[in-house]
Every structure is written in structure tokens, then in C-alpha cells.
Structure 1
Amino acid sequence: MTLNERAIGGLLALACGDALANGVEFSPRGSADIKDMNSTRRYLPVGQWSDDTGLALCLGESLVANKGFDAADQMRRYEGFYDRQEGWPSELALAPGNTLGAALKKFKHTDEPFAGSTHPLAAGNGGLMRLLPAVLAADPDLELIRLWARESTRTTHGAEECLEASELLAMIIHHLLRGEPKNQALEAGKDEAWKSKKITTLAQGDYLQKTDALIKAKSYVVDTLEAALWCFGTTDSLEAALLAAANLGDDCDTVAAITGQLAGCHYGLKAIPADWLNVLVEKDRIVQLARSLIDLTPDTTANPEG
């Protein structure tokens, strides 16, 4: 399988996971039975992704346009997405989560792009859901991947657990893009000296022994990452992984989007069900962005703040 097939698969599966689950976001577990794109109670059309994918596209398109990392440009694109529906193919306006919204408000008033709250109680999952483009743009430089994983998160989510969660996910994705076996890739951060004890536990892979009753699909960054890793690690196909995520309830669309990043980079483009891709909104835009990110030779001399 080629790197392009894995990269395109990862970005498309992110969008598919989001589109599968956004109609039942924050529903109690067991209240929905998601089997395909037509299963959910919808406020968006079938195949339409939400801001999980929208912000990933904003991040990716910023990286391509600037040939590298420009935090201020990323924040302007996030602001445009929410305030003016730029890059959002729907008439329904979306509102950011509390932590992300506070960061955008701070950016508007200060022009400081690294505006994410560093408070431990503001450790939401908004950095994880949009992460993949930063990994693809920095690939194959693992040091740069880890840096951009943290910096692309820090714009809106500055808590240390958020930064480490993104760094761990980025490391795992890097190994999946290399074609390493799933169990080997999931051990990518096992020997790292993480500051967070909870991230250390995640990196050890203890979640693989848990039943679904012990998995929380909450917006707290550690819960979200554990749920996505569990969905990916305990299933044997892309479809099974994304459906497991979509049926967890709570913040299931974000869990499914993150699961899609993992599963898509592992199983590749051809593993995504054709009937999902047939209805996925702006599929061609997503495919072209993935290709552009992989082809990018980053300019690492530029000021990352923009």
C-alpha cells in the first residue's frame, strides 16, 4: 500500500467517522444503532461532516497555502469557518465548543495565535479531532511531527494533557503511515517520559483489555483518545472501528473522527465502504488536500506564529 493511499484513507475516514456519528452526538449510549450513513437522526444531510472535519480542512489548507506552519493563519481560518461559514458547505451555522470558542475570542482581541487555555480543566479534544493534516505535512520527520502536533493543538487547547495526547496520537499515526503492524504502532509512545500519568497509562495500552462498559466517549481529551484507540485496537476492519466509535454515544462524532484518522492510515483508502464515499460531501476536496499535504516540503525557517 502506498503512502498516498494511507494518507488519503486517513483524511477521508476522519470525515466519514464524523459524518456517521454527528447526528447522534451527545446521545446516551445504546440509544442509536448506527449501521451506515443513513442510520442517524440528522440535523445535517447524509454524508455531511461537521466542524471536526471542517477544522481539519482549515488546518490542512493553511499548511499547504503557507508551505508550513502559520498559527495566526490557522486561527483566522477557524474564525472564518465559524463566523462566516468559510469552507463550510451547509447553510446551518455551527458554534465552537467552550474551550475553542474562548481561544478564538482571545485571538480576536489580542492577535495572539497560541490562545488556548492552559488550565487543566480545559483539557478538551479539539486538537485531536483535526490533527492528521499536521502529521501528513510534517511526514516523515518525526521530530517535526511531534512539534507540529503540539503547536497545532496549542492554538486552541493549551493544557498539557491536550498537547501530550496530540503528540501521542501523532506518533502512532506516523508509524501507521510507515505500514507498521497495528500492535507495534500502538506502542509508539510506550517508552516516552510523559508528564501526565494518564497519558503514560494510555501509551502502555491498558485500554486494550477493557470492555466497552469501561470506555468513556467524553469530551475530556484522555477519555476521547482512549476511546478512539480502543475502537481501533480492538476491531479488525476500518468499518468495524468506525461503527464501534459511532455507537459509543456522548462525543461520538469526535471519537469516530479520531478513530478514522487511525483506521484510515492503517487500512487505507480501499477499506472505506464505497457507499460511505458515494455520499461523503466534498470528497474530492479532501482527497486533493491529502495529496497536497504528502507532497509538501515544509518551510521550517518561517516564524510559526505567522
Structure 2
Amino acid sequence: MALPRISSAHQDDRAAGVLLAAACGDALGVPYEFRARLTQNQTPQMIGGGLGPYAPGEYSDDTQMAVCIALALVDTQAVAIQDHHILNEIADSFLTWRTMGASDIGAQTSTVLDAVQQDAATPWVASAMLRQARDLWKSGRHAAGNGSLMRTGPVALYDLHDAEDTADAARLVSELTHADPLAGDACVIWCEAIRHAVLHATFDGVRAGVALLPTDRQNQWHTWLDEAETQEPHTFPNNGYVVTALQAAWSAITRTPVPANNPAKGVFAADHLRLALEAAVRAGHDTDTVAAITGALLGARWGASAVPWHWQRIVHGWPEITARDLIGLGVRISHQNLPDRQGWPVADRHPRNTEALTPYQVAHPHDDGVILGNLPLADLDPADLGVDAVVSLCRVGTADFAHIPARDHLQIWLIDRPRANAHGHYTLDQAARAVHGLRQEGKRVLLHCAAGRSRTPTAAARYSGLLGIDAATAMTDVCQALAPNRPCVNFELERFVFDLAGAPQPVFSERVWNSRTALNPWSAKE
């Protein structure tokens, strides 16, 4: 029985990261699929092309099929994926994708789906698909491809508190197209790894997943995992096979060192997500699939807040899905499609801070092309707002700033509570770099949070740092510019500004802005 929701902001962040990081890995690997393997000195980029050809940042069938599963899971009231209603929804979604959205498709998946196309939208479509996949495997044809492992991430999120139920569901959804037990085994292992990572922020679930397999296959899987941990990803070249695909992904994760945090030098532990995804692409051959598999687990471990802003900006794909949608789907699945008390992530209009209902905006003191403000600015006429891009540091509604193109509305996972940010330095730095990147393109940028009092000034000060302004001057000037809006800075976020600059944090907040004492900085309701 699935529990209705998970508990912490960190866990929400990690659930949100599963589909997002998988899609980013997919889009990162697309240009290099079945081409000459990249060397260690070459950095993969989301440049598009590939077998599609794909647009820059566009993901392929790996994420398309994962989205099919995700959409089915948020469109049902059933308590278990094993319920035939959910299985039918997933199977029917696959068939819809096959005829309307498939930009690429694996041979094994194509064989199964094409054979049951006439059963689309019938009460027995899942049974027909399971039967066809089983017949294919029993025929002796190759049936252990990586096509079910690449899409399995959403399954892991549906019942985060029950390992055995998740394992059963992982195998069953795999068997819709891949009936070979090895494909099911791989999905069980990876789903347990993702489930465990979302709950506990470790990679320990990979080995725990092996314990959920039939006893007679556990030793072999431990051996395969041992090989992955001692060899580089490219030493598993036949990664169209599910075992070597998993080995290449696990190798990319385990053999990529986790950086030691050094914010002043721009080095963050969260960079492990990016570095390991790049290593997965360098494995070569089926690059998008290996990187998508890798990304699902990396996202579960490090969260959406660890995904680089420039990847989030351009990742997209069928059916008109963006980074924001991928984040929302991950959270909705893990919460059994129940929004939080404010309606996030599905509400059209996010509730405004009751202490900041009036739109407020002021020019950044060091760059008048950056506007600092609050969420009520979303209520203004676009002509009155006068910006080309928005960087949101708080939750927003699906229709807030709807006139801004999706690629120019960046939403950074930054929380205005102490210890609530899994990667506070990294996330604050990413917010500033998003503003900087948009400004380099000549865009006029709105930087805002809910009230414009805490996250906004700290991100603005970090942006000043990127312009060469020292941290103390930046914080002082930004707070003075925001004076009429009564800035009430979270002192942990303020410390991040100084840490990123490699400077000691002075005790100057009350001296610089006396009104900070009017509000408790640890309970500001942004």
C-alpha cells in the first residue's frame, strides 16, 4: 500500500530530480549515439542532432517512454501499479506514443507494440502486451535489451515506503515489453536504488536491490556490479544489452569522484551529478540510454537542485514537456498526485505571501538590466513588467509569468529556511549564474522570490560577485536598493554569499539594515 506523501524538502528535491536528471542525461547523450566515443578531454553538450535529428536539449525515446509511465501514474486513483487499471494506462500510453510521438524506438519495443496496436484502449491491452513480450522471449530471440531499464525511474517513485511492492511493480512494467528475467532484474535493482536514494540520499540501494532478486541470480549480479565498480564505463561497449547498460551506468556513478565542497573555488559535491552524466556519455555506443539510466539514479541521490541551470533551461521533449513539467511529475508521483496545501505543483496561480501582496520591483544596483522583485509581479500586465526573462527563487503557479517563454523562465530550487537546501552554495550560485547567462544574451531579467526580501537579495548579491563586486559591498548595496521592501535576509543564505566569494562574513546586518530586526530571519514566510 503506497503512503500518500514523503516528508522533507530534501526528499521532495530528490524525487523531483529523478525524471529531470534522466531527461538531461538523455538529451546530453543524444548527439553522440553510435558515433565515435568521446575522449576524456571532450565535454558532451546538448547540441541536438543524433538519430532524430533532435533539437538542442531534446530528449529521445528513453525519456519519452518514462513520461508515458509518469503521466499514467498521475492519472489514476489505484493504490498499486500492479492494478490492471494502471497497467492498462501505461500500456495504452505506450501505444499512443508509438503512433504519435516516437522519435526513435528500439527493435524489441517496436516488435511488441506493433503486434498489439489493435488492442489499444481496450480493457485487456496490458495483458496482450505482456503475452506478446513473453512469446518474444520464449521464441529465443534477443529479449534482454536496455529498453525497459531506461524508462523505469517513475516506477520507483510510486511507492517509496515499500521495497518489495516497488520491486514487483518494476518487474511487471518491464515485462510489458521485455520479458527476459535479466531485464526485470535490472529494473528491480535500479528502482530500489532510486527509491532508497530519494529517501536516504545514498547509493546503497543498488546492492540492496540485488537482495530483492531470486536467490539463484544474486551472486551473478553482485559480480556484475563488482566489475562495474572496478572498470571504466567504456569497457562495457555492448550497452544495448541490459546488463552492460546497467554496468556502464553504475561505473559512471561509482568511478566519478564526488568533489570536495570548496565554494570559494566553485567546486561543489553536487557537481557529481554533472560529472557522472558526462562520464556516462563517454561510455559510447547507446549514449543517450546509458546517460538516461545514470541520470535517474543521480537525480534521486542529488536532487533537482543539483541539475545545472543551463541544462534545465533547454531540456524538453514529447509531449511538450519541459524541466518544470519533469519536476512536477516526479513530485506528483511521489505524493500520489496530492498537491501540497498551497496547490503546488499543479495550481495555476501560486498563493502570494500574505505579507507581500503588493507588486514590488527595483533595479539591481550594479546592473539596471536586472529587476529585483516579488511574486505578485506575475499579476502585472506583461507590458508593465517589461522583462524578457524571469529567474524564480520560489514556487510559482503554472500560469504565473505565462507570457515568458519556457526556456527563459528559470525556476531555481532555493528554500528560505536554514538547513532546508541540500546544496545551498551550489543552488545560490546557479541562480546568480542563470541571471548572468541571460544577461549575456541581452535579456532584461526579473530576479524574484515570494516576498523579495531574503532569497532575492542574496542571489542578487551573488550576481554582483560575478560582476566583480566584493561580497560586503554587494550585500550592502542590494539591501539599500531594496530598503522600501524591508529586506529580511536569511543569515544562512547571506553566509553562502560570503563563502562563494571566499570572504569572511562580517556581522553587519543590523548595522546595514535595521528593519531586519522587525522580522525573524529564520521564519520569514517566503
**TM-score higher than 0.5:** yes
Shift of 1:65: 0.8
Aligned to 1:199: 221
Q: Say whether 1:133 aligns with 2:149.
A: no
Question: CA offsets, 1:62-112, max 9 Å, x none?
Answer: 111123432222121111112122xxxxxxx52421110111122225641
Q: Say whether 1:276 aligns with 2:311.
A: yes
1:4-83 to structure 2, matched below 5 A, reads: 4-30=12-38, 33-38=42-47, 43-68=53-78, 69=81, 70-83=86-99
Q: What amino acid is the match of 2:328?
A: Q
Aligned to 2:363: none
Q: Is the 8 A contact 1:10 1:268 kept in 2?
A: yes
Which of residues 91, 107, 117 is equivalent to 1:98? 107
Q: Say whether 1:118 aligns with 2:137.
A: yes
Shift of 1:36: 2.9
Normalised by the length of structure 1, the TM-score is 0.86
Return closer, same or farther for 1:196/1:186 CA change in 2, 3 Å cut-off.
closer
Aligned to 1:301: none
Question: CA offsets, 1:248-301, max 9 Å, x none?
Answer: 211010000010011111111121111111111211221111111011179xxx
Q: Answer 1 or 2: which has greater strand percent.
A: 2
Q: What amino acid is the match of 1:61?
A: L
Paired positions, count: 289
Question: CA offsets, 1:101-144, max 9 Å, x none?
Answer: 11112222564131323246210111111111111012121111
Aligned to 1:145: 166
Return closer, same or farther for 1:190/1:65 CA change in 2, 3 Å cut-off.
closer
Q: Is the 8 A contact 1:194 1:200 kept in 2?
A: no
Secondary structure of the 2:209 match is coil
Return closer, same or farther for 1:288/1:212 CA change in 2, 3 Å cut-off.
closer
Q: Say whether 1:294 aligns with 2:323.
A: no
Return closer, same or farther for 1:206/1:10 CA change in 2, 3 Å cut-off.
same
Q: Is the 8 A contact 1:72 1:113 kept in 2?
A: no
Partner Cα distance (1:155, 1:220) in 2: 17
Aligned to 1:304: none
Which of residues 157, 182, 186 is equivalent to 2:206? 186
Question: CA offsets, 1:147-199, max 9 Å, x none?
Answer: 110011000111111011111111111221122433x3332135452537643
Q: Is the 8 A contact 1:217 1:248 kept in 2?
A: no
Shift of 1:39: 8.1
Return closer, same or farther for 1:200/1:208 CA change in 2, 3 Å cut-off.
closer
Return closer, same or farther for 1:272/1:188 CA change in 2, 3 Å cut-off.
same
Secondary structure of the 2:200 match is coil
Secondary structure of the 2:217 match is coil
Which of residues 234, 239, 243 is equivalent to 2:274? 239
Partner Cα distance (2:286, 2:185) in 1: 20
Q: Is the 8 A contact 2:62 2:151 kept in 1?
A: yes
Return closer, same or farther for 1:190/1:286 CA change in 2, 3 Å cut-off.
closer
Aligned to 2:198: 177
Q: What amino acid is the match of 2:14?
A: R
Question: Unmatched 5+ residue regions in structure 2?
Answer: 1-8, 120-124, 259-271, 317-321, 339-526
Q: Is the 8 A contact 1:36 1:276 kept in 2?
A: no
Q: Which moved more, 1:72-81 or 1:54-63?
A: 72-81
Q: Is the 8 A contact 2:232 2:251 kept in 1?
A: no
Aligned to 2:488: none
Q: Is the 8 A contact 1:20 1:34 kept in 2?
A: no
Q: What amino acid is the match of 1:201?
A: T
Aligned to 1:158: 179
Q: Say whether 1:253 aligns with 2:288.
A: yes
Aligned to 1:90: none
What RMSD in Å do the two structures reach over aligned CA positions?
2.4
Q: Which has the larger radius of gyration?
A: 2
Return closer, same or farther for 1:166/1:190 CA change in 2, 3 Å cut-off.
closer
Partner Cα distance (1:233, 1:296) in 2: 31
Shift of 1:28: 2.9
Partner Cα distance (1:61, 1:190) in 2: 28
Which of residues 189, 193, 201 is equivalent to 1:168? 189
Identity, in percent, stands at: 27
Which of residues 59, 65, 84 is equivalent to 2:100? 84
Partner Cα distance (1:48, 1:246) in 2: 15
Secondary structure of the 1:113 match is helix
Q: Is the 8 A contact 2:14 2:198 kept in 1?
A: yes
